[in-house]
Structure 1
Amino acid sequence: MRTYIDSAEVENVREAYELGLVDGVTTNPSLVAGTDREYRDIIDELTEFVDGPISVEVIATDYEEMLEEAREYDTWGDNIAVKLPMTRDGMKALRTLTAEGVQTNITLIFSVNQALIAAKNGATMVSPFIGRLDDNGHDGVGLIEDIREVYDNYDFETDILAASLRHPYHVQEVAKAGADIATLPPSVADKMFDHPRTDSGLEAFLDDWGDRESPALK
């Protein structure tokens, strides 16, 4: 399973990149608004070191304006994926952009039917929002399993990108459920490294070794 970082903070992405977790990046208007920076400036910095898809989301809600935004975003780099909402106008824009060869990420997916429509219209990726479903008493991981089954039944090439992940347990569960990609908030990515047994085991090894020098440094 590929891992993306869900952040518009370039330094957070860079730190995750150095740890081998950045196969791509997802951004959205909320994340960008929290930086007090221009969207283009952020993306320009990210494209300097991120080779995988970088999702840039449209603000418009009607077909024509979505296309105008999407075509501009597509000029920002060879690896830009335009994020479109799962709406009727969003699907019209998706059909047009698919025909033009633009990478796309359909966001705010909450059902198998929505994922099916997006795949039929040629989406590069769909983003089911796992945490938001869980918050409302629904089975977010179960949605990943159901979409995986449908996509495999009909050989859809659309990638399933598990989004809105709240904790490391979500990551392992969507991996088991067959997600192609998980996009991780930096806080979740950081917690994936930790386990108390790792810390205590390392401490025990070092205590047993004492103050001897490393044999590699003699």
Structure 2
Amino acid sequence: MSNLLEQLKQHSVVVADTGDLAAIKRFAPQDATTNPSIILKALQAGQYPQQLDAALDWAQPRSRSPEALLANACDRLVVSMGLEILEQIPGKVSTEVPAALSFDTHATLARARALYAQYLELGVAGERVLIKIAATWEGIQAARQLEREGIRCNLTLIFNLAQARACAEAGVYLVSPFVGRILDWHQRQAPDSRFSADSDPGVLSVRQIYRFFKQHDYPTVVMAASFRNLEQVLALGGCDRLTISPALLAELAEAEGRLTPALADDGQRQVAPAPLSEDALRWQMNEDAMATEKLAEGIRQFHADQLKLEALLSERLRALR
């Protein structure tokens, strides 16, 4: 009998949630996802040194200020790292727009187009790139326009059905509902509670989104993210995609047993409801303390790591001079 990772690949597209090339080679995922935290971790581990210096070289003649230089270098760096990852996988890589732009539709559009254009200039086929954007109202509207332009998007930091539904109604290619961060919030609220896989609030949230999308025939891909343990992964087997850390991929590769998918499209369809308005989405977020807090926290965390990435680039620039 094959290990759990190989069995899981038969039911869900497995995506590596890492920038570690060795892990990507080892576990042979279809796709890979990145974010500022993942990129920072890879750089701090000593990976991508050539891409770091090349990004600074590329950015210097194209930048009119120190701030622009760091922004341009960051963009070139994440694209260069995405290029390296694409050489190891057959599918897509997700590259994130800086979290500081999460509430600015026009700025998100400009940065997303620039990142996408760099991939094309480097010879990458457009269908292999997903532009990753936080699922704020402003981010969703940017993704709506990008999808119209043929630029596929991955909407991230999704914590409830309202966010996911608004993305699907905007025609977004893929959504990344988070599992572990939802569980983290509930465990902080009730430290003595014990959640099984089938009562895990993060697992239940993704199952709700998956079933809603299938029932209403939304083509948007559901990619569960942010896993804390193997049980969460297995409880969402059968979801369209699962983006999994190297540590959990290793556990899956080493585990034996029979995997039965927990999710499957039952074929039942309903008429889709009227699209959510901006007011309706904001109200539903307001009524969901967990989703509101975790979205804000996630944006802050990604922005903090983006600033650390810029500081690393700045330090390297001083060393080169």
Question: Hey, what's the Cα distance between the residues in 2 that align with 1:2 and 1:190?
Answer: 16
Letter in 1 for 2:112: A
Letter in 2 for 1:183: T
When structure 1 is superposed on structure 2, of 42-51 and 179-188 the one drifting more is 42-51
Letter in 2 for 1:133: I
1:58 Cα deviation (Å)? 0.3
Instruction: Tell me whether 1:72 sits opposite 2:114 in the alignment.
Output: yes
Contact 1:10/1:42 (CA < 8 Å) preserved in 2? no
Letter in 1 for 2:232: H
Instruction: Tell me whether 1:168 sits opposite 2:230 in the alignment.
Output: yes
Instruction: Tell me whether 1:92 sits opposite 2:92 in the alignment.
Output: no
Unpaired stretches in structure 1, ≥5 consecutive residues? 198-218
When structure 1 is superposed on structure 2, of 59-68 and 161-170 the one drifting more is 59-68
TM-score (norm. length: structure 1):
0.83
1:150 Cα deviation (Å)? 1.2
Q: Which residue of 2 aligns with 1:191?
A: 251
1:189 Cα deviation (Å)? 0.2
Question: Hey, what's the Cα distance between the residues in 1 that align with 2:201 and 2:256?
Answer: 29
Higher strand proportion, which one?
1
1:170 Cα deviation (Å)? 1.3
Secondary structure of the corresponding residue to residue 210 of structure 2: helix
Alignment of 1:4-153 (within 5 A): 4-17=15-28, 22-36=29-43, 37=52, 38-59=77-98, 60-61=101-102, 62-75=104-117, 76=119, 77-78=124-125, 79-137=128-186, 139-153=201-215
1:196 Cα deviation (Å)? 7.9
Secondary structure of the corresponding residue to residue 254 of structure 2: coil
Question: Hey, what's the Cα distance between the residues in 2 that align with 1:163 and 1:150?
Answer: 18
Letter in 2 for 1:136: W
Higher helix proportion, which one?
2
Question: Hey, what's the Cα distance between the residues in 2 that align with 1:156 and 1:90?
Answer: 19
Question: Hey, what's the Cα distance between the residues in 2 that align with 1:10 and 1:72?
Answer: 25
Structure 1 residues 92-141: Cα deviation after superposition (integer angstroms, max 9, x where no partner): 10111010011111000000111100000011111111000111126011
Question: Hey, what's the Cα distance between the residues in 2 that align with 1:69 and 1:16?
Answer: 31
Q: Which residue of 1 aligns with 2:286?
A: none
1:2 corresponds, among 13, 16, 20, to 13
Letter in 1 for 2:32: V
Question: Hey, what's the Cα distance between the residues in 1 that align with 2:255 and 2:210?
Answer: 30
TM-score (norm. length: structure 2):
0.57
Secondary structure of the corresponding residue to residue 236 of structure 2: helix
Q: Which residue of 2 aligns with 1:215?
A: none
Letter in 2 for 1:35: A
Unpaired stretches in structure 2, ≥5 consecutive residues? 1-11, 44-51, 53-76, 187-199, 258-321
Contact 2:86/2:92 (CA < 8 Å) preserved in 1? no
Question: Hey, what's the Cα distance between the residues in 2 that align with 1:149 and 1:84?
Answer: 23
When structure 1 is superposed on structure 2, of 122-131 and 6-15 the one drifting more is 6-15
- Residues 49 and 145 of structure 1, relative CA distance in 2, 3 Å threshold: same
Question: When the two structures are aligned, how many residues end up with a matched partner?
Answer: 191
